[in-house]
Amino acid sequence: MLSEVLLVSAPGKVILHGEHAVVHGKVALAVALNLRTFLRLQPHSNGKVDLNLPNIGIQRAWDVAKLQMLDTSFLKQGDVTALTPEQMEKLKEVAGFPEDCADHEHLAVLSFLYLYLSICQSQRWTEESLELINKWAFQGERVIHGNPSGVDNAVSTWGGALRYQQGKISSLKRPPALKILLTNTKVPRSTKALVAGVRSRLLKFPEIVAPLLTSIDAISLECERLLGEMAAAPAPEHYLVLEELIDMNQHHLNALGVGHASLDRLCQVTMAHGLHSKLTGAGGGGCGITLLRPDLEQPEVEAMKQALTSCGFDCWETSIGAPGVSVHTAASLDPPVWQALDGL
C-alpha cells in the first residue's frame, strides 16, 4: 500500500489582524508560516501499519494486507463534506471498534484510518481533497473551541495569506515576504473561554465593544490594502504603518479583555528594541508576533530573542506566506528536516 516514506505537512499559522472580531462577522487576515508540523508515514517490513499518537496515548496496528484487500469504494460515496453514518460504521468495523464508541481517542483513530485510506488512494490532492481536509480540520477545531470562525483551519489548509470573513476566503495575490518573530509566552489559555469573554463584554457594553470590533475590521482592511501596495513596491514607510496597525490592534485586544501580563511583557521587551508586537490568536497568554523590519541587523534580533528567552518565552524567526497542507517524499525535504523526522 505504501512503498516509500510519505510525509505530509501543514504550516503553522498566525492571525495578523482580526482575531475575535472574525467571530463576530468581521474581516481577519491570516497567514501561513514557514514553520511546519509533519506527519511521517513509513513502510514497515512487519506488514503492519502502526499508528502512534504519543500525546494522547494511542498505539494501534493493522495488517496492511487486510487494508489492501478492503473495498474502499465506500469512502468515495456521497457527499465529501460529511461522513455518512454508514461510512462511520464501516470505518469502525475496519478499526475493530464497538458501534457505540464516541470518545475522542476512538474518533482520533477513525480520523486517522479515514485519512490513511484516502491518502493511499491518491497522492495528488485535488481542490476537492483540500476542501475535505479543511472541513476535517474545522471539525477538529470544533472539538477544541466549540464555535470557531474557521479562519485557522482555512489558512493551514490553503497556506499563503488569506482574507477571511464569515466563511468567505480570498487569497492575497502576492503577499510580501514579511519576516516575523513568533513568540510563545507558554501561558496556557482556553480559546473557548476567551471567545466567550469577548461575547459577554459585547453584550454588557454594546456601545463600547461594537465600535472596537468595527475598528479592528478597519485595521484588517487597511493592512490588506497595504500588503497589496507592498507587493508592488515595498518601501520603508510601509513598515512604519504596519507597526502602527499592530500597536492599535494590540490596544483594542486589551480593551476586549484578551490581553495578559505575559503579552504586555512581550510588547515591552520588543519595544525596548524598537519593534512592535501584538498577540495573535485568542490571547490570554499563548503567542504573539513581532514585525521584523528588513533594515534590522541580525545581532539586534539575536539580542531581542535572548531578552525574550530570559522571560521564559520560546521564539522562532520565520516568514509568512508558506504553502498549505502538502505531501512530500523524503527526497524532496531539506536534509535537516528529514534528519529531525528520522530521529523520532
Dist. CA 185–CA 283, nearest whole Å = 10
Report, in Å, the least distance between residue 267 CB and ligand PMV.
Answer: 17
Q: Assign 20 to helix, strand or coil.
A: coil
Q: Which is nearer to ligand PMV, 192 or 265 (CB)?
A: 192
- Give the C-alpha separation, 110 to 91, whole Å: 6
Of 63, 71, 103, 152, catalytic: 152
List interacting residues with ligand PMV (CB under 6 A). 15, 19-20, 22-23, 145, 148-149, 151-152, 191, 195, 281-282, 286
Shortest Cβ 33–ligand PMV spacing (Å):
13
How far is the first Cα of the chain from the last one, in angstroms, to the nearest whole number? 23
AA letter at 67 = L
Q: Is 258 helix (H, G, I), strand (E, B) or coil?
A: coil
Q: In angstroms, what is the minimal distance from the CB of 225 to ligand PMV? A: 21
The secondary structure of the chain in percent helix, strand, coil, rounded to multiples of 5, reads 50, 20, 30
What is the signed CA dihedral for 273, 278, 283, 287, rounded to 10 degrees?
Answer: -50
Min separation Cβ 255 and ligand PMV, Å:
15
Q: Please give the residue whose beta carbon sits closest to ligand PMV in the complex.
A: 281
Known catalytic residue: 217? no
Please say which residue, 118 or 220, places its beta carbon nearer to ligand PMV.
220
Cα dist. 148→41, 80, 232, 319 in Å? 29, 21, 34, 25
**Calpha distance 97→103 (Å, rounded):** 11
Please state the closest distance from residue 289 (CB atom) to ligand PMV, in A.
12
State the minimum distance, in angstroms, from the CB of residue 257 to ligand PMV.
12
Choose between 17 and 92: whose C-beta lies nearer to ligand PMV.
Answer: 17
Neighbouring residues of 239: CB distance < 8 A, sequence distance ≥ 6: 291, 293, 294
Question: Rounded to whole angstroms, how far apart are CA atoms 304 and 186?
Answer: 17
For 60, the 3-state DSSP assignment is: strand
Picking from 289, 287, 209, the residue whose alpha carbon sits closest to that of residue 253 is 209
User: Which residue, 141 or 239, has its beta carbon nearer to ligand PMV?
Assistant: 141
Is 7 or 180 the residue whose CB approaches ligand PMV more closely?
Answer: 180
- For ligand PMV, give the closer residue by CB, 118 or 280: 280
Task: Identify the bridge partners of residue 6 per DSSP, sorted by sequence position.
Answer: 41, 329
Q: Known catalytic residues?
A: 152
